[in-house]
């Protein structure tokens, strides 16, 4: 009996080791050296401009995944769209900051239960530094849970969680809470190797073998946005590495509403988002994906193959 148990245990370890050694592509059923890409639009729900542009970029462009900011004023509009378009890959952009000057929001959890998450005006902090400095981990955890619960209450079936301004992945205790809540709901959380350096950790020590760590993140920088963004996008897609890449973009129409939301900001501002919208809803983008044998993959596919 003891011998049999040892054998089973040995075989289990072997299978487990093999699973770890498999590439993400293989785990998802693609050839080992596939260039997998999630073309991900952030910040849905923050404004009508973002909602409208992102919906167009999904329906007519290349964007194949996006995440929703539950505490924001236009959440209800995108929740309605998500209910009516259940096939679209919407996750939740876990939000611990309210970063614009004129246009603000608070947490989902009632403020008496989240005093460490809000400033004197009852809004979420403007900066990630304040979140790191003042927010208590139990309240962060409860706010993540509240955002997931509220999304589900509104009929959204979240395919993933990710992190607005990376706030929730920039302190180890917050990161653990984020992973914990994701597991509670069997929703994958966005994790990437790039996060390891700041926290000086190995993500593998926090994750189980079925969970996924994105191989690399790409996102345009201010320098590239101000020089030749179309060239940057094209070069990035042409040189996409093997493995799973997470391309983070921000799509919106550069209109009066968006200019007012982002007033005082150039980087990640209104014109910036129009530029991203223009490229990722263009035929050029689709052509580049095809020519470079890039395989788009959604969080829903990852969730349903690996997490459920």
Nearest to 50, CA basis, from 100, 119, 6, 120: 100
Asked if 145 is part of the footprint of a second copy (rule: CB under 8 A), the reply reads no
Nearest to 285 by CA among 222, 217, 220, 238: 238
Q: Is residue 90 close enough to count as binding a second copy by CB under 8 A? A: no
What secondary structure letter does DSSP report for 267?
T
Q: Considering the complex, state which of residue 43 and residue 215 has its C-beta at the smaller distance from a second copy.
A: 43
Residue 154 contacts a second copy per CB under 8 A:
yes
Q: x/- binding map, residues 224-263, to a second copy, per CB under 8 A?
A: -----------------------------x-xxx--xx--
Among the residues of the chain, which ranges form H helices? 2-21, 24-27, 48-59, 75-84, 128-134, 137-153, 172-184, 195-199, 222-227, 229-238, 256-261, 270-280, 283-291, 299-302
Q: By rule CB under 8 A, what count of residues binds a second copy?
A: 25
Our finding on whether 49 is near a second copy (CB under 8 A) is yes
Site for a second copy in 13-32 (CB under 8 A): none
Q: How far apart are the first and last CA of the chain?
A: 32
Site for a second copy (CB under 8 A): which residue of 23, 27, 30, 77? Answer: 77
If binding is defined by CB under 8 A, does position 264 make contact with a second copy? no
56 is a site residue for a second copy (CB under 8 A): no
Q: 38 - beta bridge partners?
A: 246
Smallest gap from residue 216 Cβ to a second copy (A):
36
Find the shortest distance in angstroms from Cβ 183 to a second copy: 26
Q: Decide if 167 contacts 141 (C-beta within 8 A).
A: no
Per the rule left: phi > 0, alpha: psi between -120 and 50, beta: everything else, 98 is: beta
Q: Does 103 bind a second copy (CB under 8 A)?
A: yes
Please count the residues of the chain: 308
In terms of CB distance, is 28 or 58 closer to a second copy? 58
Q: Pick from 112, 200, 205, 208: which binds a second copy (CB under 8 A)?
A: 112
Burial bucket for residue 193 (CB in 10 Å: 0-12, 13-18, 19+): middle
Residue 48 sits in the site that holds a second copy (CB under 8 A): yes
Residues with Cβ within 8 Å of residue 71, at least 6 apart in sequence: 95, 98, 105, 106, 107, 108, 124, 147
Q: Which stretch binds a second copy (CB under 8 A): 109-117, 131-139, 210-218, 274-282?
A: 109-117
Q: Which is nearer to a second copy, 123 or 134 (CB)?
A: 123
Stretch that binds a second copy, among 59-67, 69-77, 267-275, 290-298 (CB under 8 A): 69-77
Judged by CB under 8 A, does residue 38 bind a second copy? Answer: no
Q: Is 102 in the site for a second copy (CB under 8 A)?
A: yes
CA atoms within 13 A on the CB side of 65: 25
- Under the binding rule (CB under 8 A), the answer on residue 110 touching a second copy is yes
Side-chain-facing half-sphere of 113: CA atoms under 13 Å:
11
Instruction: By CB under 8 A, name the binding residues for a second copy.
Output: 48-49, 52, 73-74, 76-77, 80, 102-105, 110-112, 121, 123, 153-154, 253, 255-257, 260-261
């Amino acid at each position: 009996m003891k011998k049999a148990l040892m054998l089973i245990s040995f075989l289990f370890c072997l299978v487990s080791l093999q699973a770890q050694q498999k590439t993400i592509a293989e785990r998802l059923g693609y050839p080992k050296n596939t260039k997998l890409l999630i073309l991900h639009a952030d910040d849905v729900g923050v404004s009508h401009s973002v909602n409208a542009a992102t919906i167009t970029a999904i329906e007519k462009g290349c964007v194949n995944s996006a995440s929703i900011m539950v505490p924001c004023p236009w959440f209800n509009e995108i929740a309605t769209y998500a209910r009516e378009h259940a096939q679209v890959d919407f996750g939740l952009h876990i939000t611990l900051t309210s970063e614009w000057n004129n246009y603000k929001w608070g947490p989902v959890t009632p403020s008496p239960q989240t005093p460490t998450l809000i400033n004197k005006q009852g809004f979420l902090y403007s900066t990630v530094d304040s979140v790191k400095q003042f927010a208590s981990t139990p309240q962060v955890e409860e706010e993540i849970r509240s955002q997931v619960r509220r999304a589900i209450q509104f009929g959204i079936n979240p395919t993933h969680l990710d992190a607005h301004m990376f706030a929730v992945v920039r302190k180890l205790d917050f990161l653990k809470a984020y992973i914990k809540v994701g597991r509670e709901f069997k929703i994958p959380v966005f994790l990437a190797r790039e996060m390891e350096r700041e926290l000086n950790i190995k993500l593998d020590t926090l994750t189980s073998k079925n969970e996924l760590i994105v191989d690399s993140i790409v996102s345009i920088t201010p320098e590239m946005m101000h020089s030749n963004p179309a060239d940057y996008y094209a070069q990035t897609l042409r040189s996409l590495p093997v493995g799973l890449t997470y391309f983070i973009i921000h799509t919106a129409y550069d209109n009066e509403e968006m200019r007012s939301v982002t007033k005082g900001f150039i980087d990640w501002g209104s014109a910036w988002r129009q530029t991203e919208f223009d490229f990722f809803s263009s035929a050029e983008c689709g052509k580049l994906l095809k020519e470079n044998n890039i395989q788009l993959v959604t969080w829903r596919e990852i969730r349903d193959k690996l997490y459920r």
